[in-house]
A and B are shown apart, each in its own frame.
Chain A
Amino acid sequence: MRYRLLLPQVSMSSRYLPSRWDMLAALLVLGFIVLFASTSQILLEPLAKLEITPISLSPWALPEYAIRTSLRMLIALCASLTFTFTYATWAAKSPRAGSLLIPLLDILQSVPILGFISITVVFFLSLAPGKVFGAELAAVFAIFTSQAWNMAFSFYQSLRTVPEELSEAGKLFGLNAWARFWRIDVPFGMPSLIWNMMMSMSGGWFFVVAAEAISVGHTTVSLPGIGSYIAAAIAARDMHAIGYAILTMLIVILIYDQLLFRPLVAWADRFRFDQEDAEDRPESWALTMFRRSNLIGALSVPLVRFIRWSYRLSPPARLGKRSRQRAEGPLGNILWYSIVVLLGLLAFWETARFVGPISLSDIFRVLGLGLVTLIRVSVLIAVASAIWTPVGVIVGMRPRLARIVQPVAQFLAAFPANLLFPVAVSVIVLFRLNPDIWLSPLMVLGTQWYILFNVIAGASLLPRELRDASTNFGVKGWLWWRKVALPSIFPFYVTGAITASGGSWNAAIVAEVASWGNRTLHAHGLGAYIAGATAAGDFHRIVLGIAVMSFLVTIVNRAFWRPMYQYAERKYRLG
């Protein structure tokens, strides 16, 4: 399948300095986190022991665990979709809401997802005391946060770029708002939404695996699933079990790729607005099979009828009277702004109260740890770039090779790297290696593939005539790399590197503290700090860690990646 350019998940506006909306959004997110944390702190003690069936390490239990893990993923996907359709639509249709909602999404994307789990799991557990249902909710919520923000962004952007002629056609035919949403807005945004959905889901396996076995303070939660299977295997030092789990995960991802990812992307192709009959239309044998099957056709008939009936529920738009665009009147504005300011003040007060016990020296220490992790991530991304960029260029320029390697790289990017951590950790323990150095590569293990497959995509898109021109004029060696190959893949590289960098920060939380049996390895860094605070149930430190990490990620994005992306788009975009 031809790779289509993945839209980067951060809104690439060209402002570099934060606006007041960004500040407000940051404050609100912080307040939200503090709220959860303080509630969790209160609720932590009274929670009774949870009734949990122990995790079996037998390989025959794996299919069931695999199904449960996939089910959690799908439920989170549905939740994300609902969130996307409501949040993004609200932000797109109402400019004043949008001015807050979008910076909010931006900040939320920088918050480490595993950090979210730490503060929400107790809250969710308290919703259903004594039952595991709360833990399921927490896991699903964690997966939700890994998908919802990208999808909301992508849908928001397509809502804002619906071509005039389509909306005008809708108005002319008297479609009401509900019908317009489902017949114009959603189909138009489908291709990019589905692509982002699938990419998020690919990245989500990592968090599913991490979210299934969490301990916060004295509360340990192990939901039946591959993640907790792995956790149990680590505790029991069972290498065979780890092997089985990796094998199962490979099969699960393969099934999901062939039966969900590719058919959905191929199906979304019919919504492409550019009407060209491209030769490289994505194909999927599963989709062709579904389309030809009579059973599926029969099942979809009642669904289609129901949807058509729903269009008639709302009153049709009144033709003949130009519907006055309900301008957001001054009264509405005052109401909106006062609510927002109130929320901001509340967040500020909550945060100030919560922050009390934290001293300034604490903050500096955490910042220091953050810088250590920052250096680690930067060095690793640089090393991964240096290795995989040339490989990607060489592969991308040979179509037959690219056709094989690129899906493999995409597959590797989806595979949750945390399943491989125990193998690495056991080796480090065996050879008594320095964890500070040797735990670090784990952070890019899963994310380096984003760089590879993006660069392959970029290299394969280099027009043949440009390649011919460089051959014809004898451009070779270092001159060729400098003036032809590297510039051509630059925008693609930046997209891949941004994703890789974001993923590595998340991975830091599970990579800087890794255990094998009863040996636990610690590397110095912010990830270890957050992991340690979670294990101890110390919510003040958890919030501090999360806040510092989000702050660092946001700064790196704004000060480094975003300008780089702008520059790449401006100068290196082909055509």
Chain B
Amino acid sequence: MDTNALLHVDKIARSFPRPGGSELVVLDDVNLTLQDGEIVGLLGRSGSGKSTLLRIISGLSPATRGQVSYLGQTVEGPANGIAMVFQSFALFPWLTVLENVQLGLEALGLPQKEIRERSLKAIDLIGLDGYESAYPRELSGGMRQRVGFARALVVHPNILLMDEPFSALDVLTAENLRTDFLELWHEGKLPIRGVILVTHNIEEAVLMCDRVLLFSTNPGRIMSEIRIDLRQPRDRQDPAFMAMVDRLYAEMTAKRLEAAQRPGRFGAGIGTPLAPVSTSLISGLIEAVAATPYEGKADLPDLTADLQLEVDELFPVAEALQMLRLAELEGGDIKLTHMGKLFAEKDTNGRKEIFSRALVTHVALAAHIRRILDERGSHKAPKSRFLDELEDYMTADAAEETLRAVTGWGRFAELFAYDDETEMFSLENPQ
């Protein structure tokens, strides 16, 4: 263990007990070291446990196994010198900008004069001089996040933790804040020694971080660690930059491909958790990939830039397509299969047919629901029956989501009907 490290995360695991004895594992065997002067990025999709890891590091949540040591001491609760910046800014609406920034110092019990001086300096540093007596409701999103930064910086933390700090901002403001932050960081004007940044935006990770740790989902594990050696300030148009982005896309999709092709461990495969993806997104993505200039095969970074999508929006759809064998993900590309190309050409009825066949063949849960409905005399089955069955394989929330996903797809394919008021699946059309 490198004793000079700022932070050392050692075999951290976090799991929740499930009714029935088994455990839901959110984080598994995570190791990470933060050195002085570096920005480490945690990159992964939502649900990969990266925010949980951040909360464990900051002492807000306990870990089930493993330990975090900060400057040589074990972290057991919120520690002095670790400050956090939040995705939704987390400003107190009833306090002015100055009062918000002062809060951390007041909690430390410093003398009033020093509190005021330091706060005013911090506000000046992040560029909000003149807004001290404004309330958060009077500020735009970007300004609110600046207040969030000021509040975190004013306590002179050693480590700054950032939980998707720019994802709630529009593209221009986010870029503005990022470059401002990087400038201050590289000029040494920030009183911090290390940064951990959680993000689901691949370009942001490449722009800001010295090292990126890729997270997998279910359970959250570190898939790989990639060092980004590009010189600051980094240029998005630089071919080396774009190559690095491509590499990250490839890494993220490759691991997922492996996981998806693992032979199903759960009986008839109905235990695979699914994310609800609307059929219009599915149709839309197929159409986009089929059209010019891609003609059926698209480079993922290009596609996301073109469609203005985030990783969190694109990957679920792409994976749904992969599951239905309408497209394939290889390297950093998405390629339509023969069925997918047919889908793009047909009209609505034709698409429903293709979709219906794909659903029954490749999504075990949909076929299962249809089979149960066919077998029963009344051709009706309550939602709770399937929920109970799914809860043998996953948590209640995941079961709810999976069933919702299949319900949406089943309705589009006209495979079965669902009435939300009586919570019943049936083979009838509504009266």
Contact = CB atoms under 8 A, between A and B. Distances in A.
Interface of A: 270, 288, 291-292, 463, 465-466, 468-476, 479, 483-484, 487, 571-575
Interface stretch (B36-44, B103-111, B280-288): B103-111
A473 B90 contact: no
Nearest to B80: A474
Interface of B: 55, 58, 60, 78, 80, 82-84, 86-90, 92-95, 99, 103-104, 106-108, 151, 155, 421-424
Contact of B87 (A465, A472, A483, A575): A465
Contacts of B90: 463, 465-466, 468-469
Contacts of B104: 473-475
Contact of B422 (A288, A470, A484): A288
Max chain B CB contacts within 10 Å: which of A291, A463, A473, A479? Answer: A473
Contact of B55 (A468, A474, A475): A468
B92 A465 contact: no
Contacts of A292: 422, 424
A468 B94 contact: no
A483 B95 contact: yes
- Nearest 9 A/B pairs, CB to CB: A473-B104, A469-B90, A465-B90, A474-B107, A487-B94, A475-B107, A472-B84, A465-B86, A291-B422
A469 B103 CA distance: 10
Interface centre among B55, B78, B84, B94 (most CB of A within 10 A): B94
Nearest to A568: B94
B93 A479 contact: no
Contacts of B423: 288
A467 to B, nearest CB: 9
Q: Which of B82, B92, B421: most chain A Cβ within 10 A?
A: B92
Nearest to B136: A575
B312 to A, nearest CB: 18
Nearest to B155: A473
Contacts of B86: 465, 468-469
Contacts of B92: 466, 469, 483-484, 487
B73 to A, nearest CB: 16
Nearest to A573: B93
Contacts of A474: 78, 80, 104, 107-108
A255 B424 CA distance: 27
Contacts of B88: 463, 465
A54 B252 CA distance: 82
Contacts of A466: 90, 92
Contacts of B60: 468, 471-472
A574 B89 CA distance: 13
Contacts of B89: 465
16 contacts: A291-B422, A292-B422, A465-B87, A465-B89, A468-B60, A468-B86, A468-B90, A471-B78, A472-B82, A473-B155, A474-B80, A475-B106, A475-B107, A479-B106, A483-B106, A571-B93
A472 B83 contact: yes
Nearest to B154: A473
Contacts of A475: 103-104, 106-107
Given A291-B422, A468-B86, A473 B94 contact: no
A28 to B, nearest CB: 41
Given A270-B421, A472-B83, A474-B107, 5 more contacts: A288-B423, A463-B88, A465-B87, A571-B93, A573-B93
A473 B83 contact: yes
B77 to A, nearest CB: 9
A483 B103 contact: yes
Contacts, number: 68
Which of A465, A474, A484 has the most chain B CB atoms closer than 10 A to its own CB?
A474
A280 to B, nearest CB: 13
Contacts of B78: 471-472, 474
Contact of B107 (A270, A476, A572): A476
A473 B93 contact: no
B261 to A, nearest CB: 33
Contacts of B58: 472
A291 B421 contact: yes
Given A468-B60, A472-B83, A475-B103, A575 B93 contact: yes
Contacts of A468: 55, 60, 84, 86, 90
A270 B87 CA distance: 32
Nearest to A288: B423
A508 to B, nearest CB: 34
Contacts of A465: 86-90
Given A465-B87, A483-B92, A574-B93, A473 B107 contact: yes
B381 to A, nearest CB: 13
A335 to B, nearest CB: 46
A464 to B, nearest CB: 9
A433 to B, nearest CB: 43
Contacts of B55: 468
A243 B65 CA distance: 54
A573 B82 CA distance: 29
Nearest to A469: B90
Nearest to A574: B93
B144 to A, nearest CB: 12
Contact of B93 (A288, A470, A472, A572): A572
A469 to B, nearest CB: 4
A457 B88 CA distance: 22
A476 B423 CA distance: 46
A263 to B, nearest CB: 12
A112 to B, nearest CB: 35
A475 B83 CA distance: 13
Contacts of B151: 469, 473
Nearest to A480: B107
A571 B88 CA distance: 19
A270 B423 CA distance: 14
Nearest to B104: A473
Contacts of B103: 470, 473, 475, 483
Nearest to B99: A483
A147 B104 CA distance: 48
Nearest to A490: B94
Contacts of B93: 571-575
A532 to B, nearest CB: 47
Most chain A beta-carbon neighbours within 10 Å: one of B80, B151, B422: B422
B96 to A, nearest CB: 11
Contacts of A270: 421
Nearest to B384: A288
A479 B107 contact: yes
B84 A469 contact: yes
A573 B90 CA distance: 14
A571 B298 CA distance: 51
A476 B55 CA distance: 18
A172 B286 CA distance: 37
A424 to B, nearest CB: 40
A16 to B, nearest CB: 22
B81 to A, nearest CB: 11
A468 B151 CA distance: 14
A415 to B, nearest CB: 32
A291 B106 CA distance: 56
A324 B424 CA distance: 48
Nearest to B86: A465
A469 B55 CA distance: 11
Nearest to B82: A472
B97 to A, nearest CB: 14
A571 B95 CA distance: 9
A465 B106 CA distance: 19
B214 to A, nearest CB: 25
Contacts of A479: 106-107
Contacts of A470: 103
Contacts of A575: 93
A465 B155 CA distance: 19
A415 B90 CA distance: 39
- Residue from B58, B60, B107 having most chain A Cβ neighbours under 10 A: B107
A495 to B, nearest CB: 17
A465 B51 CA distance: 12
